[in-house]
Amino acid sequence: MILFKKVTNLHKWLDAQQQKDHLPGFVPTMGALHAGHISLIEMSKKENTVTVCSIFVNPTQFNDPKDFEKYPHTIEKDIYLLEHADCDILFHPSAHEIYPAGLIPKRHYDLGSLETVLEGEFRPGHFQGVCMVVDRLLEIVKPGRLYLGQKDYQQCMVIAKLIELIGKKDLIKIVICPTLREPDGLAMSSRNLRLRKDERLAVVAIYKSLCLVKETWQIKSIAQLKQQTRSMLEEAGFKIDYIEIANAANLTLLNEWDENQKMVMLVAAFMNEVRLIDNMLLN
């Protein structure tokens, strides 16, 4: 694996590849890598001659400065895991490389209702920051395929919208890979590293509550199941941001079941300081 910190050096290397007609597969990350990220690298390696992974903890997408400060940094272990997965390139830039003109946004991305529901409502500005960094990373890496995890369900939709807004829909294919879970069902996430032992045991309640809804949605109302989930999560010690059922194609929130559309349940909740999200397709 080759590690690049400078855009100019990465460009030189990628330009040589593109002359051979090899557009890279790209896995953008904020580091603290786990098996979920590695599954994206593996998928990219299957489908592309060259795989680029980026590690950049993007300051513009943290609406809570404490969350940014406490975001785990494990670069040595990350490099080890990427080497082991046979990733071709790691791009690990400084903030100055990504944002040479500073952190002030140059444009507003019109994300429509994606910006005001769910994560959009509870993390104001978050998706503008995600778009800002992903727009810049795509400009640098110029991939043919982009690999994202289903765990960040809404982020996948936001990035699809971004790619449309920047006119790269025909150039970049988004590949969404399934959420990887720990043996007890907890969705893998870099933030899990911040959980204490007792918290780690309690947070499996999210997965359990999602499974219960998936098993019983045909016999109970949405209101009943949302209330049941709320009780389960609160009993486990969570403070809930949202529990919603939505149309899986556009994230319109649902109050009534509609078997004619694909439905997804989405949850965001705090276990003390640590905010976790998860989702499950119901039908």
Which residues of the shown chain bind ligand PAF in the complex (CB under 6 A)?
28-30, 58, 61, 130, 133-134, 152, 155
* CA 78 to chain CA mean position, Å: 17
Of the two residues 137 and 202, which places its CB atom closer to ligand PAF in the complex? 137
Query: Helix axis angle, 126-141 relative to 153-165, nearest 10°?
Result: 60
Of the two residues 59 and 237, which places its CB atom closer to ligand PAF in the complex? 59
Q: Are 93 and 5 in contact (CB under 8 A)?
A: yes
Angle (nearest 5°) at CA 31 between 26 and 36: 70
Minimum distance between the CB of residue 228 and ligand PAF, rounded to whole angstroms?
Answer: 30
Question: What is 168-217 written as a DSSP string?
Answer: -TTT-EEEEEPPPB-TTSPBP-GGGGG--HHHHHHTHHHHHHHHHHHHHT
3-state SS of 43-80 is: HHHHHCCCEEEEECCCHHHCCCHHHHHHCCCCHHHHHH
Of the two residues 58 and 192, which places its CB atom closer to ligand PAF in the complex? 58
Minimum distance between the CB of residue 29 and ligand PAF, rounded to whole angstroms?
Answer: 5
Those residues whose C-beta lies under 8 Å from the C-beta of residue 216, and which sit 6 or more positions away, are 225
Minimum distance between the CB of residue 91 and ligand PAF, rounded to whole angstroms?
Answer: 11
Q: How many CB atoms lie within 10 A of CB 211?
A: 12
Of the two residues 151 and 226, which places its CB atom closer to ligand PAF in the complex? 151
Of the two residues 152 and 244, which places its CB atom closer to ligand PAF in the complex? 152
Distance CA(125)–CA(36), nearest Å, equals: 26
**Which tokens go with 65?**
């400065």
37 is catalytic: yes
Of the two residues 133 and 202, which places its CB atom closer to ligand PAF in the complex? 133
**Bridge pairing between strands 263-271 and 51-55:** unpaired
> Of residues 11, 22, 37, 108, which has the active-site annotation?
37
Minimum distance between the CB of residue 246 and ligand PAF, rounded to whole angstroms?
Answer: 20
Q: Taking phi first (over 0 means left), then psi (-120 to 50 degrees means alpha), and beta for anything else, what does residue 32 get?
A: left
Minimum distance between the CB of residue 56 and ligand PAF, rounded to whole angstroms?
Answer: 7
Minimum distance between the CB of residue 36 and ligand PAF, rounded to whole angstroms?
Answer: 10
The residues carrying an active-site annotation are 37
